[in-house]
Structure formats: structure tokens, C-alpha cells
A and B are shown apart, each in its own frame.
Chain A
Amino acid sequence: MSLLLVERLTRSFGGVRAVQDLSFAIPEGGIHSIIGPNGAGKTTLFNMISGVLRPTRGTIRFRGENIAGLPPERLAARGISRTFQNLQIFFNMSVLENVLLGGHLGLDRNVWRALFRLPRLRAAERRARAEAEALLERVGLAEWSDAPADSLPYGALKRLEIARALAARPELLLLDEPAAGCNEKETREIETLLKSLVADGMTIVLVEHDMRLVMNVSDHIIVLDHGRMLAEGRAEEVRENPAVIEAYLGQAAVAGGHAP
């Protein structure tokens, strides 16, 4: 059974269809990339899978259950986490607190134990802190742990969002352009991180414009154009698909070789 099964998914804004009649399946495990030119509907698709946007039509099945239209907090509880293309860091908290919030659903959320800071809460908080530190270590932000989030450079914030999403221990991780605005070195670090996550059995859906990263890490690529599926397959298959070259890579060539 597929982990995620999208069927005839459509979302319109006014008269414009950002995503139309889109169907695809994501099996468990591996990195699945969604690519396509700007305006292809990638972020709209992400927003629907993560509950931020309600689909106009269609179903999204996660482990067989239709989750289309459920609010994001319910999807988080079911094991779907995401990052944002335009950073959504909690800038009024420390780096560690951001990660702790990512694990919110696994924490002790009883009001009375919080008000009186009872031992059970303190113990749970200590464990959560240790786990959050470990996650920061994993994304390479260990030394920033106590710094206010707004003191971090851009590339580090990107990784902080990944750590925050991981703190929820998701089964499905949606990453919206994790390498955007990152330099070579940072992009390579993200690549290593993604591979190590998949090695641990996680399923990742990636939206990314950096084609080298996409081609290096993807087990499976879905190409969108104008809200529809243009092509699907392994990296080399997609790369050689004439329709993709026409609609996508051709456009990049026109744009002066700049990664679209």
C-alpha cells in the first residue's frame, strides 16, 4: 500500500486552477521530488497535503485514510510534518525552543502540571530537551542551541526548520525548497542530512529548484506543469523525457541556464 495516495486532486483560486486532476502515489520510504517551473502548483500541492489549504476536489489518502481537508494540527498528529519555502521560524524563541515546539504533540500538555511545574512535567521536559539537543546536533546546530532564533544566519534557519519538523517524529516529511538561498556547502550538508534520514526509514517529499540536489537524492520524481502531471519516474527517466525538456529544461535554457 502506498503511504500517500493522491487522487484527482484539484484546487482553484477564483477561476485559476493551481492544481488540476492530479493523481500520484508515494510508496513508503525514499525521497520523492516534485519539480516543475514556477507556478506549476508545487507549493499549492504541499499546502493541501499538509492541511494548510483545503482541496477544491479530490482525495488525499494517508495510510489508506482520506485526509483531504483536515486541519494541519490533525495531520501533524497523524505523522505529517513540513517545512516552509518562506521561513516560518518562531523568532520569539530560542533555537532549542523551536525544536521543542516541533515535538509539541509528544510533550506533557497538562495545564495543571505546567502551572505547578510538577515533577512529572519536569522529567518529561528534561527528556525532550535531550532529544531536541540531539536533533540540533544532527542538523549541525548544536552550538546554537540557546541562541535566540532571530540571531541565526539564513542557511542555519533552513536547517532549524528541518530539525523542528523532525522533532514531531513524522512518518512523512514534506520539505519545501530546503536548499533555496543556501550556498554550495550548505546544500551539500542538506543532501547528506536527507540521505541519512532516508537511511533511517523516513519518507520524504521534496520540492526543490536546485536540480543537482534533486537528481542526486531522488528515488522518484514527479514533474508538474500548470497544475497537471507532466511526467513521473526515476531521475534518469525524467531527465530524458522530451516533454520535460520541452516544458521545463527548455525554459531554463531560455532563461540563460539559470536553474529554474
Chain B
Amino acid sequence: MSREITVFLQFDQCVLVKQNRVLLSEVASIYGSEPAMRQKIGALELHRFPKEQKEKQVFSVMKVVELIGRAYPEVTVTPVGEPDFIVEYKPEKKRKFEKAAEWCKTGFVALAVFFGSAFTIVTFNKDAGVDEIFPMIYRLTEGAERSGPGELEIAYSLGLPLGIILFFNHFLRKKIDSDPTPLQVQMRQYEKDVNATIIENATREGKKVDV
């Protein structure tokens, strides 16, 4: 009696939820020609986390197709995007020192980056023999030894921060162009690798929610 309805669902690789009841509308963007059906599908419950604690669960899109097929057999589901996705459940808890703890951790990493990069440049200078190359250039161009650092050292010291600013594409919050910085790119790449590994592990250990 009813005509066929097609619904498109797009999934992201990883979604963060705060409630233990996970609805389809939270994990996918849903499009279909009938808004009422979109609403009904969005309200379907995909999963319920049993405990009030941080947890990650991997789902196959097939599970979603089955869920919709059971509730609304007249609907044709067309999934787009990731074939598997992660739902990360993080119950909202107000911890007092969360902000302070985060700044402590940031401070820790900042100190490691500061002293670490300082250490690295000095080891580079020593390893590459910068303190021999500059005197050599003075000797070749002036025909005599020089005592102490001069123009080359000053310019090199200017060039270093300049190079890093060019490379990282910003200083403090001021960006040179609108591209993300290399570390931001690397960060996303790392995140993607982690997500892919979580999905692979869940598949291999049979912990993925599948049909």
C-alpha cells in the first residue's frame, strides 16, 4: 500500500555522546524526502550503555540498516560514509579540578616541548658542527680568524625562529595563511589512525555490534 521511501544516512568515524541512550539522530545525519520519516528514524534507539562510565563501542552500519528495516520495512536505507563507526560515551560529570588538571597537563607538555626543542637545537648545532662552519666561512671570506660570534651567528639566530614560524604557519594566534598548522594536520592524522585501529581491534575481537 505504501510507496517506497528512500532515506540516506551519513556516518562519521567517531561520535561523542553524553547520554547513555544513543539515538540514531546523534550518530548520523539523516536525509529523506519525507521529514516525518526522518524524525521517526532519528528517534530510533541504537544502543544503551549499561554503566555510567566512559566507554567506546564500535558499530557496523549494517546494524543500523537492520534496525531501521525492523522498525520501518517500507524504508530503503542508503548509507553513505564510513562502513563502521565508533560511539564514544562520556557521561557528563562535573569534576571540580578538571580545568586545573588540564592546565597542569598542558604545562607539563609545554615544559617538555620547551626544554626538548631547546635541547634538540643545541644537539643539532653541536652535531652538525655549526661552531666550526661559521669560523670557516669567516676564515675563507676574510682570510683571518675571528674571535667570538659575528654577523653569521646573529643572522642564523634570526633565521631559526623565522623558519619555524614559516613552517608552523603561525606565531601565537597570528596565522600566516588559513591552512591548518602541520601539527594540527598531524594530530588529525593520528586521530584517524587511532580510530581505524579501534575499529579493526573490535572487528577482530568480535566486539563490534554487527548483524
Asked if A and B are interacting partners, one says no
B-side interface residues toward A, CB under 8 Å? none
